[in-house]
Amino acid sequence: MARLIGQWMSDHLGQPFIIENRPGASTNIAVEAVVRAPPDGYTLLLSVTANAVNASLYQNLSFNFIRDIAPIASINSVPFVMLVNPSFPARSVPEFIAYAKANPGKIIMASSGVGVGPHMNGELFKLMAGVDMLHVPYRGGDAPALTDLLGGQVHVYFGTVAGSIEQIRAGRLRALAVTPAKRLDVLPDTPAIGEFVAGYEASGWQGFVAPRNTPIEIIDKLNSVINAGLANPTINARLAELSGSVLPGSPADFGKLIAEETEKWAKVIKSAGIKPE
């Protein structure tokens, strides 16, 4: 995503955009590098949902994400899907909830790590549906958890649509529901969880932020260029390939999203007593 939008900005601003990966500490190393950078528009962060989650998950961060960044523009919304092995006895969300309530703590819920999307989506489901499941975190993205789900070692996984769509279409995994508020064009016959669990909605997101105190004229210029990119058919098609949908808007719109997501996941973390690995 950074390379896709970065190339667009480079082409339209006449400046090279260098993508520098700063992995580690569940994105916190990258965030710290950006919030400590000069507020001149030359150092940006591709912000993700984990940044909002980490604000409550980690107690001793050296920064306050909302305070220390300046939102520029949201890029896209990323859907997830509630997956089970075809041998699992439940064929729908209501059946799954009934089975979970009849077998408390016996359903194994896989995730790709503590605090990441699949984990948080599942914890929100547990909280709102009133069910108890055993969480088993994996490392390495979707693949290890999906492998064990395919093998029947775990029972449910709230994975990305992009990472599981082929397995769903091949019938090797059963999609019970998608996590956004509405059904997806790529899975039109799969209901949204919210159709059964009122108010449930969980989507990943990505967008660009800068260090706080970055001049508003720089923020507005970058926002304008990014939104023009999101309206471009080529970039739109690429986002569709990644099973995401464009999420254009103003810097204030993105700031509102970040604040709402931070508050939402803080409640889940507190209620479930989630601790970092």
What's the pLDDT tens digit per position in 31-84? 999 999 999 999 999 999 999 999 999 988 999 999 999 999 999 999 999 999
Confidence label for 175 from pLDDT (cuts 50, 70 and 90): very high
**Structural contact between residues 159 and 142, judged by C-beta atoms closer than 8 angstroms:** yes
Q: What is the structure's pLDDT at 105?
A: 94
The DSSP-derived string for 15-50 is S---------GGGHHHHHHHHTS-SSSS--EEEEHH
C-alpha angle with apex 51: 201 to 265, nearest 5 degrees? 40
State pLDDT tens for residues 79-124.
999 999 999 999 999 999 999 999 999 999 999 999 999 999 999 9
Which helix (DSSP H) or strand (DSSP E) does residue 147 occupy?
helix 142-151
Amino acid identity, residue 239? L
9 Rama sector, left if φ>0, alpha if ψ -120 to 50, beta otherwise: alpha
The domains of the chain are located at 2-78+203-272, 80-195
Computed over every residue of the chain, the mean pLDDT equals 94
How large a percentage of the chain has pLDDT more than 90? 88
Q: What is the structure's pLDDT at 243?
A: 61
**Would you state the structure tokens that stand for residue 2, as one six-digit string?**
């950074």
How large a percentage of the chain has pLDDT more than 70? 99
Sign of torsion over alpha carbons 237, 241, 242, 244: positive
Q: What is the structure's pLDDT at 162?
A: 87
Domains 2-78+203-272 and 80-195 share a fold: yes
**Structural contact between residues 268 and 124, judged by C-beta atoms closer than 8 angstroms:** yes
pLDDT(242) > 70: no
Question: 49, exposed or middle or buried, with CB in 10 Å at 0-12, 13-18, 19+?
Answer: buried
pLDDT(236) > 90: no
Question: From 3.40.50.720, 3.20.20.80, 3.40.50.970, 3.40.190.150, which CATH number describes the 2-78+203-272 domain?
Answer: 3.40.190.150
Q: What is the structure's pLDDT at 229?
A: 95
Query: CA 232, CA 216: separation in Å to the nearest integer?
Result: 24
Query: CA 269, CA 277: separation in Å to the nearest integer?
Result: 13
**Structural contact between residues 62 and 42, judged by C-beta atoms closer than 8 angstroms:** no
Q: What is the structure's pLDDT at 31?
A: 96
CATH architecture of 80-195: 3-Layer(aba) Sandwich (3.40)
Mean pLDDT of 212-224: 98
State pLDDT tens for residues 8-29.
999 999 999 999 998 888 889 9
